[in-house]
Amino acid sequence: MKKNSISIEKEILDFFKNNNFEKSRRFMPNAYSPKHLRESLKKLKNPQFDYKTIHVAGTSGKGSLVRYLSRLIQKQKVKTASYLSPHLMAINERFLINDAPVSDNLLEKAWHEIRPLTVNFQLSFFDALTAMAFYIFKHESVDYAVIETGLGGRLDSTNNLKPLFCVIAPIGLDHVNILGNSLKKIAREKAGIIKKNGVVYSMPQEDEAAEVLFRYAKKQNAKLSFVKIPEKLNFIEKNIFAADYIYQDFFSKPPHKIKKELPGIFEILNKKPLLIFDSAHNSVSSFELGLLLKERYPDKKIQIYINMMKERSLQNFLTSLIQEKLNLNISSIILLPAGDNFYSKDEFYNMQHKLNIPFSHINKFSQIIDFLEEQKDALHLVTGSLYLYKETVDVIKPINVR
């Protein structure tokens, strides 16, 4: 009997719920290591070397760069894959071929191929999904695969590649308890994907991060190019500009016109009342989000619904978003209910006196509807984590079918 995506996804998630091989090493220094996956990939005869790859790391915008580069390469009429994380609605979305999620049957086939290795080598959830991606892309005979790092770069599971070139998205303070508490330390981790004699493209970086990239590229004898991006562009336009530039420079072909919309990236889920979801999750991306809000909705009162994983700084995110330079008309900030790894109500309210803006919380996602109906002329923004996307979409469905 054929399984559907919900049942195969449940099988995978349940397996890791009962066999959390990652838990013991997740929050330890230097705990992430590609070696856990490297040995299992050897058993699969290293499928990741059977097609051309591009490796993308960074703090903000790397998922967008992966999608845009994939769409551009696909215009060459070649089979192109993308590996992304996390997914929005279903786990299939992490594995895209020609911009479409893989089938349930292929997902099931890959999982049953990788599952024994997961047990034998005690692979983490992300290790196993990365192995599945490499396996799927070989099974489907893709020509190119654009691979997004999960966390960092140097010790990331995806750092088992021989890429055509690497891309470094803007680097900021994120995952500081794992990657380090300075731009220099974090940049060092991101730079770890740069290969000897390789080709590297970088988005504009803070001087501290740029210096690290320069030094590491020189050590690896790699060619490093910084993409010069016009300052007037918003963050969506910056990512498109960078993808176009990198594509044209490396492939010596003019960039094609591609679809610019991406799910979860400043996505309008409902027009009236206006509800927008954006995946910003750190101070770099929250400032860019604020600039776009100011550009497109300068006169709108904004109601923010937020939560994020504790390994990120919610206070820094909010401080960046409500700064005077942006001058956004934010009415209040509401904490959304989420899992154990997210901020609690107490942790949230402890920040209120430092930010000087009304805070509140809701106990159920469905309560967003009450705010939407009470403030129909406001802009309602859900942000902080892609893990909030599915519940937001599910809540808004009744409004969209009226």
pLDDT in tens, 298-355: 999 999 999 999 888 899 999 999 887 888 999 999 999 998 889 999 999 998 888 8
Beta bridge partners, 168, equal 57, 202
Domain termination residue (choose one: 205, 220, 251): 251
Whether 281 and 247 share a structural domain: no
CA angle at residue 283 from 86 to 188, to 5 degrees?
75
Instruction: Please tell me the predicted confidence (pLDDT) of residue 28.
Output: 53
How many structural domains does the chain have? Answer: 2
Q: Does some domain include residue 379?
A: yes
Same domain, 21 and 140: yes
* Other Cβ atoms closer than 10 A to 217: 21
Domain shared by 167 and 237, yes or no: yes
- Does a structural domain hold residue 308? yes
pLDDT-based confidence at residue 27 (cuts at 50, 70, 90)? very low
The DSSP-derived string for 183-237 is HHHHHHHHGGGPPTT-EEEE----HHHHHHHHHHHHHTT-EEEE----TTS-HHH
Asked whether the predicted pLDDT for residue 19 surpasses 90, the reply is no
Report pLDDT digits (tens) over 187-210: 999 999 999 999 999 999 999 999
Q: Would residue 257 count as lying in a domain?
A: no
Q: Is pLDDT at 49 greater than 90 in this prediction?
A: yes
Q: Within a domain: residue 279?
A: yes
| Contact call for residues 264 and 386 (beta carbons, < 8 A) | yes
Q: What is the pLDDT of residue 26?
A: 46
Segment among 239-243, 368-372, 397-401 with least mean pLDDT: 397-401
Q: Are residues 337 and 204 in the same domain?
A: no
Residue 28 identity (one-letter amino acid): M
CB 95 within 8 A of CB 83: yes
Mean confidence (pLDDT) of the chain:
90
Q: Is there a single domain that holds both residue 126 and residue 189?
A: yes
Q: Are residues 237 and 320 in the same domain?
A: no
Pick from 163, 45, 142, 156: which is nearest to 99 by CA? 142
Residue 30 within any structural domain of the chain? yes
Q: What mean pLDDT do residues 99-128 have?
A: 94
Residue of 42, 22, 18 lying closest to 32 (CA atoms): 22
Within 13 Å, how many C-alpha atoms sit on residue 369's CB side? 13
CA 60 to centroid of chain Cα atoms:
8
Return the pLDDT at 3.
53
The stretch 39-57 carries a mean pLDDT of 96
Among residues 251, 278, 295, the one where a domain terminates is 251
Q: Is residue 15 part of a domain?
A: yes
Write down which residue in 225, 251, 277 finishes a domain. 251
Copy the structure tokens of residue 24: 């013991």
CA-closest candidate to residue 135, choices 104, 95, 91: 95
Give 22's pLDDT tier (boundaries 50, 70, 90). Answer: low
Tokens (6 digits) for 20: 């959390």
Q: Are residues 91 and 184 in the same domain?
A: yes
Q: Could you tell me how many residues make up the chain?
A: 402
Among residues 268, 282, 220, the alpha carbon closest in space to that of 62 is found at 282
Residue 276: inside a domain: yes
Same domain, 242 and 272: no
Token digits for 281? 């999750």
Q: Is the pLDDT of residue 108 over 60?
A: yes
**In a shared domain, residues 351 and 317:** yes
In a domain, 258, yes or no: no
Contact 320, 286 (CB under 8 A): yes
Q: Please, what is the Cα angle at 206 between 203 and 208, to 5 degrees?
A: 125
Could you tell me the CA-to-CA distances from 293 to 66, 152, 234, 276, 289 in Å, in that order?
Answer: 24, 29, 10, 10, 6
Do 154 and 229 belong together in one domain?
A: yes
- Decide which of 182 and 52 is more confident: 52
CATH number, domain of 284, equals 3.90.190.20
Q: How far is CA 181 from CA 172, 173, 186, 311, in A?
A: 10, 7, 7, 12
In the block, residue with structure tokens 């996390």: 86
Give the CATH number of the domain where residue 26 resides.
Answer: 3.40.1190.10
- Per-residue pLDDT, 284: 84
Domain shared by 211 and 175, yes or no:
yes
Backbone angles phi, psi at 250, to 5 degrees: -80, -45
- Indicate the pLDDT class of residue 401, thresholds 50, 70 and 90: very low
Could you tell me the two tokens for 236?
């969506």
Domain membership of residue 153 as a residue range: 5-251
Count the neighbouring beta carbons within 10 Å of the beta carbon of residue 193: 26
Percent of the chain past pLDDT 90, that is, above it, reads 76
Report percent pLDDT > 70 for the chain.
Answer: 92
Q: Whole-structure pTM over 0.85, yes or no?
A: yes
pLDDT of residue 24: 42
For the cut 90, the answer to whether the pLDDT of residue 247 exceeds it is yes
Residue (of 9, 17, 19, 7) closest to 123 by Cα position: 19
Same domain, 188 and 275: no
- Residue 343 CB neighbour total at 10 angstroms: 23
